[in-house]
Amino acid sequence: MFKIMLTMFSALITYLIGTSPSGITPLVAPAGPGLPPSEVTYGLTKMNILENIGSGSTCTSVASTLDYDIDFTCRLLNAGVGIKLLTADFSEIFQLTEAGSMLLESHPASLRSAVLMLNEETRDSYRSAVTSSLKSGVSGFKEAFKAEFW
């Protein structure tokens, strides 16, 4: 009897370790370029930054071409590297990843319009502050509320 109980208990533990809390084995996402839903994705797309990367560009070059604040543009591009829309080498040349290239208007399977539409529908004041901060270099909070946070 003890062996049967031990076997059943072992089977239960093995089952629980291999499944989610609801008892359903979680699905594994297929390999492919997923687009992270974020303010970074929205900002890079909305402000045409990805369109100006080309085959590779520095953040200073992109900021100068678009007349954006250099520091804020560089931080946004580095955030794009963090969510895998861009890559950067040691000389700080940024290039589009497969996922990043899907946000270009010229891409045959472009998701640019979808990203903009979905983000515009739920836009809050802090979202528009991101786009203003690119041009002015002023914090997003100050752009939106005309006062510093503290």
CATH number at residue 99: 1.10.10.10
Residue 28 has pLDDT above 60, yes or no: no
Q: Are 67 and 135 in contact (CB under 8 A)?
A: yes
- Residue 148 or 14, more confident: 148
Does residue 77 lie within any of the structural domains?
yes
Tokens found for residue 81: 């590297």
Nearest to 79 by CA among 113, 54, 51, 44: 44
pLDDT tens by residue, 35-93: 665 788 989 999 999 999 988 999 999 999 999 999 999 999 999 999 999 999 988 99
Is residue 92, in this structure, part of any structural domain at all?
Answer: yes
Domain assignment present for residue 17? The answer is: no
Give CA angle at 108 (105, 109), nearest 5°.
90
- Alpha-carbon distance 122 to 104, whole Å? 22
Which comes out higher in pLDDT, residue 150 or 100? Answer: 100
Assigned domain for 129 exists? yes
Angle, vertex CA 60, rays to CA 54 and CA 62, nearest 5? 35
In a domain, 22, yes or no: no
β-pairing, 86-88 vs 94-96, is antiparallel
The answer as to whether 25 is a domain residue is no
- Token pair 């983000």 in the structure block, residue: 119
Q: Is residue 6 part of a domain?
A: no
Question: Given the structure tokens 């290239």, which residue do they identify?
Answer: 101
Into how many domains does the chain fold? 1
Range of the domain at 87: 38-137
Confidence of residue 34 (pLDDT cuts 50, 70, 90): low
pLDDT for res 29: 47
29 found inside a domain: no
Query: What's the CA gap between 83 and 36, in Å, rounded?
Result: 7
